[in-house]
Structure 1
Amino acid sequence: MPSSMITGSMVDVPGLLVGHFTLKERLSGCSVVLSPPGAVGAVDVRGAAPGTRETDLLDPSNLVDKVHAVVLSGGSAFGLDAATGVVRWLDEQGIGFETGYGRVPIVPAAVLFDLPVVRTGDDPQARPGADAGYAACQAATTARPAAGNVGAGAGACVGKLFDLDRCMKGGIGHASVRVGPWVVGALVACNAVGDVLDPATGQLLAGARTADGLQLLDTQRALLAGERGSRPLPGTNTTIGVVATNATLTKAQAKRLAMSAHDGLARSIRPAHTPLDGDTLFALATGTESSPVDLMLLTVMAAEATALATVDAIRQARGIRTVWGDIPAAKDLAT
């Protein structure tokens, strides 16, 4: 599917709701995917510097396989607290894993690092917390979610290997792919150290810019030619997301879906899964489609939806002005 024809979103998977909350005090926020009863969850972490919650629980060898929500957040490790607000909201709705002593909501989460993105007048100490996660749940809907500079993508940037003053704006994006009775949707917040390209054409869309700031440098080509970047701290970059399907999957099959979705990141981000990124993708299977599973097809669809959602995040992003310089978006830079 050409990226210029990106359609659909995570909520095309029946039963899912998506909500964003963006801070007023600074460019950061969180996004939540609320799943229907019985949704099976899994995760695959490929980056070397992740910030996560409840990922061990999602290992196929462990007990609990049902997930009630997934949280993506800015704010680095501080943003993991957004999941606490989601747990509180789910508890108020009577949703959770039945223990015999009360219901415990299962809410995995992953965060990205957006702390340097501060505009004039912003509060640098403002980060998504429990109240932000709660508000994202209140905003969750089956309508097509907003994209770009919202929620977990509000402060996301890409192309940061050659200093922040040469990076570009990232964001959060959506896409879905349908084949027969199956639908796979993806929600991706792109904050990569690498560049983002359109896998359909190979065209670079956003990333590190040349020293004059007017053109894309091509990070991978520069590295292979012997150039070296500023070596940003590990964990200051990450692409996080959720891929979901209406199929009925086991926890191990859902894990395979998350693993294959990372192929979509590798197609659209160059380089991906680096020592400086914490790339993490969750998978959800809602089970609303009971046809015999074609896992091969679903994995191909997951990679495609993830690549398209990553491109959508970049195409929907808007340029911003920070205290240390302007960060243009793909639409601001002639490529």
Structure 2
Amino acid sequence: MNRRNWSRHLLALTGGIAASARAASQGGAAASSKPERLDIPAEGGLTDVAGLKVGHFTEKRRPTGCTVVLCEAGAVAGVDVRGSAPGTRETDLLNPVNTVQQVHAILLSGGSAYGLDAAGGVMRYLRERGIGYKIGSNVVPIVPAAILFDLGLGDASIWPTAESGYQACLVAKAGKVPEGNVGAGAGAIVGKLFGLKSAMKSGLGTASLRVGDTGIVVSAIVAVNAVGDVINPKSGRIVAGARTTDGKGFVDSMARIRAGYNVKLPPPPPANTTIGVVATNVAFDKAQVTKIAQMAHDGLARCITPVHTPADGDTIFALATGALGVKANHGMIGAIAADVMAQAVLRAILAAEGIPGLPSYRDLL
């Protein structure tokens, strides 16, 4: 592209951004009045990686819950925390320089920091079965965890407890993983830049990919609770996010930000956070799995705008079970993990069901 054509291209691009920002600043929808129909396969999930089980506890008294990923035979794990408002447990243990090499479960929970209590129930379940890090005659289950904020829905004195984590383990299985308003996704919401009045219900989603005829499987599970909007990366169109005043279209949070919305004010409260797990049946060490967790965040960045903000505690764990008995290029697996994570994000939107005051993607079609 020569300089003249590049200038025209840049002018067209910035003009489009400016037009979008003007529309958003006037309360109009920068995207279509309705979300596009998502063509996302309904099959595939985290448990397509052999050796993993997933169980949910969903609280009936208000929208909250927790999700456990059991890897009872042990799995090498890594983590990457990109948001500035995280709530986590045992993430320092996953640093590649530290001693313990395997984990026995990962917990994703609602309830903000209170929800970390649920990991105690997961430990109890594993200890009762003799599963954990062996130290003499003792066993210590290793259960890293991350939480999201959902205390704004219903009675904030209700959150996932140790008993909730235990119950999630009791129903954990290797089959099809329930999605939507379940487990850690029960209280998930997106599009909160302008408050809950214009936000939308999100949920939990899962996806997987079989890599050609290699036998390699890469899978993901995620609870999407972002302050930002969710877009379809293939089209660039918003599928869930902050709604216009009539509730039928989308404001486009990034367009409002580019137009100057709140850029001189402190960030919104840290009442958000997207948390998830990617997994593979390949054998990797902790440093390699940590890199895969880092790269999986690209899947969030393709779908969520803005993402990794001071108001989010976005955290992704990565697991390598080694069940396939082969090694692979961890950079390529990380690239695939990003794709699978993006698909899981869209599945979370597609599977979500609206609740009073918070419509879902399905409700806007």
1:38 to partner: Cα distance: 3.3
- 1:190 partner letter: V
Q: Give the C-alpha shift of residue 6 in structure 1.
A: 5.0
Selected match of 2:209 from 164, 177, 180: 177
The answer on whether the counterparts of 1:3 and 1:311 sit within 8 Å (CA) in structure 2 is: no
Distance in 2, matches of 1:4 and 1:143, equals: 19
Q: Note if 1:333 corresponds to 2:361.
A: no
What's the offset of the Cα at 1:23?
A: 0.7
Cα deviation, 1:198-246, whole Å, max 9, x if unaligned, reads: 1122221101111232211111111112223996744211000000000
* Aligned partner (choices 70, 76, 79) of residue 112 of structure 2: 76
Number of residue equivalences: 325
Between the aligned partners of 2:76 and 2:268, the Cα distance in structure 1 is: 34
Is the alpha carbon distance of 1:224 and 1:6 closer, same or farther for their aligned partners in structure 2, counting shifts above 3 Å? farther
Counterpart of 1:156 in structure 2 is 188
TM-score, structure 2 normalization: 0.86
Letter paired with 1:181: G
Equivalent of residue 342 in structure 2, options 307, 327, 331: 307
**C-alpha contact 2:193 2:268 (8 A) present in aligned 1:** no
The CA deviation at 1:88 is: 0.4
Selected match of 2:136 from 100, 104, 117: 100
SS at match of 2:163: helix
Residue pair 1:220, 1:270 contacting (<8 A) in 2 also: yes
C-alpha distance in structure 2 between counterparts of 1:91 and 1:35, whole Å: 13
- Measured after TM superposition, the shift of residue 293 of structure 1 is 1.2
Q: Which residue, out of 353, 357, 364, partners 1:318?
A: 353
Q: Name structure 1 gaps, 5 residues minimum.
A: none
Structure 1 pair 64–3 and aligned structure 2 pair: CA distance change class (3 A): farther
Of 298-307 and 198-207, more deviation after overlay is shown by 198-207
Aligned equivalent of 2:32: none
Aligned to 1:34: 70
Matched, 1:13 2:44: no
Q: How far apart are residue 64 of structure 1 and its match? A: 0.7
Q: Which amino acid aligns with 2:167?
A: A
Name the residue aligned to 1:188: 222
Are 2:267 and 2:310, in contact at CA under 8 Å, matched by a contact in 1?
A: no
Deviation per residue, 1:280-300 (Å, 9 max, x gap) = 000100001122312232111
Paired residue type of 2:280? T
Q: Distance in 2 between matches of 1:3 and 1:249?
A: 33
Letter in 2 for 1:198: N
Aligned residue number for residue 287 of structure 2 = 252
Given the two structures, how large is their TM-score scaled by the length of structure 1? 0.94
The separation in 1 between residues aligned to 2:110 and 2:349, in whole angstroms, is 16
CA deviations on 1:122-148 (whole Å, 9 max, x unpaired) are x43111000000000001001111101
Structure 2, unaligned runs of 5 or more: 1-37
2:284, 2:327 within 8 Å by CA — same for their partners in 1? no
1:50 aligns with 2:50: no
The aligned residue for residue 298 of structure 1 is: 333
Aligned to 1:272: 307
Tell me whether 287-296 or 150-159 shows the greater mean CA deviation.
Answer: 287-296
In the alignment, the residues of structure 2 paired with residue 81 and residue 269 of structure 1 have an alpha-carbon distance, to the nearest angstrom, of 28
* Matched-pair contact (CA < 8 Å) for 1:173–1:189: yes
1:248–1:290 contact (8 Å) kept in structure 2: yes
Q: 1:231 to 1:205 in 2, by over 3 A?
A: farther
Closer/same/farther in 2, CA of residues 170 and 241 from structure 1, 3 Å limit: same
Quote the Cα distance in structure 1 between the aligned partners of 2:120 and 2:267: 30
Question: For the Cα contact (< 8 Å) 1:49–1:234, is it kept in 2?
Answer: no
Instruction: For 2:197 and 2:55, locate their aligned partners in 1 and report how far apart those are by CA, in whole Å.
Output: 31
Give the alignment's Cα RMSD to 1 decimal: 1.5
Aligned counterparts of 1:308 and 1:54: Cα–Cα separation in 2: 27
Partner of 1:213: 247
- The structure with the largest alpha-carbon Rg is 2
Q: For 1:17-46, what per-residue CA distance to the aligned partner results, in whole angstroms no more than 9, with x for missing partners?
A: 000000111110000000142310110000
Moved more, 211-220 or 260-269: 211-220
Task: Indicate if the aligned counterparts of 1:84 and 1:130 stay in contact, CA closer than 8 A.
Answer: yes
Q: What SS does the corresponding residue of 1:174 show, helix, strand or coil?
A: strand
**Which residue does the alignment assign to 1:223?**
257
| Inter-partner Cα distance in structure 2 for 1:112 and 1:176 | 23
